[in-house]
A and B are shown apart, each in its own frame.
Chain A
């Protein structure tokens, strides 16, 4: 079964600090790997989408990296802000898949403390 595992499950850091969230997957190839931010009570919002051949993709203070050899992706958040408090979800779109081909991790719950 295709799986996407995220770590840590939750994380608390101080405002202004950097942090890195991890995503491990078991099956390749895939069409694209996505990172989403989900604020409490809201739907997921796409942060980055990387194809299988890309190594890194940035969106402001968010930088996603992909290592196809180790089947790992990371989301690095620089100079964290209180508004970064949210759940971060990693998802893989498997090759040839439509909406049914998107497999999600269970997310990392990030809390930024002042």
Chain B
């Protein structure tokens, strides 16, 4: 059974640009959650999607948004990128709620 797949693995952007990250959950998993990981803050919850609906949202500015498609694949978008957005972005999937399996993340670097 394939694991959680995140693309791309690495991304370099400049300040002010926007970026879209993709997450394909494990087959049959309907919940996808996103996390930002930095050395200083550790893992912080961004948002969770279940059956195409945002179910929970963390304490991040509106520049961070996401969506989920009918096949459970999810995307997150960050607009007007700032240097502080440099991080590893992880998604996790589960059948219904509590995250179970993490992908290997997208490493985003802002220049």
Complex contacts, B58 vs chain A, CB 8 Å: 100
Q: Tally of A-B residue pairs with Cβ under 8 A?
A: 57
Shortest CB–CB separation between residue B52 and chain A, in angstroms? 15
Interface size class of B (residues with CB under 8 A): 20 to 34
How far is A52 from B84 in the complex, measured between Cα atoms in Å?
Answer: 36
Residues of A within 8 A of B94 (CB): 99
A98 touches B42 (CB 8 A): no
Assess the B42–A107 pair: CB atoms within 8 A. Answer: yes
Q: How large is the interface on A (under 10, 10 to 19, 20 to 34, 35 or more residues)?
A: 20 to 34
Task: Report the bound CA distance from A105 to B45 in whole Å.
Answer: 12
**Taking A99-B97, A99-B98, A102-B98 as contacts, is the C-beta distance between A41 and B43 under 8 angstroms?**
no
The 8 A CB mask of A53-97 against B (1 = contact, 0 = none) is 000000000000000000000000000000000000101010001
In the complex, residue of chain A having the shortest beta-carbon distance to the beta carbon of B40: A106
Is B99 close to A, CB under 8 A? yes
Question: Is B26 positioned at the interface, with any CB of A under 8 Å from its CB?
Answer: no
Interface residues of B in 25-43 (CB under 8 A from A): 31, 33, 41-43
Q: Are B102 and A45 in contact (CB under 8 A)?
A: yes
**Main secondary structure on B side of the interface with A:** strand
**A45–B90 alpha-carbon span in the complex (Å):** 12
Contact B42 A102 (CB under 8 A): no
Residues of B contacting A46 with CB < 8 Å? 100-101
Report A57 CB to chain B, min CB distance, Å. 16
Partner of A98, one of B97, B101, B107: B97
Query: A12-66: which have CB < 8 Å to B?
Result: 31-32, 41-46
Chain A residue numbers with a CB within 8 Å of B4 are 43
Give min CB distance, B72 to chain A, whole Å: 14
In contact, A106 and B42 (Cβ under 8 angstroms) = yes
B42 pairs with A43, CB closer than 8 A: no
Contact between B42 and A99 (Cβ–Cβ < 8 Å)? no
Do A104 and B42 have beta carbons less than 8 Å apart?
yes
Residues A102 and B45 in contact, CB atoms below 8 Å apart? yes
Residue on A with the closest CB to B90? A43
A/B interface sample: 5 pairs, CB < 8 A: A43-B92, A99-B31, A99-B48, A99-B92, A101-B98
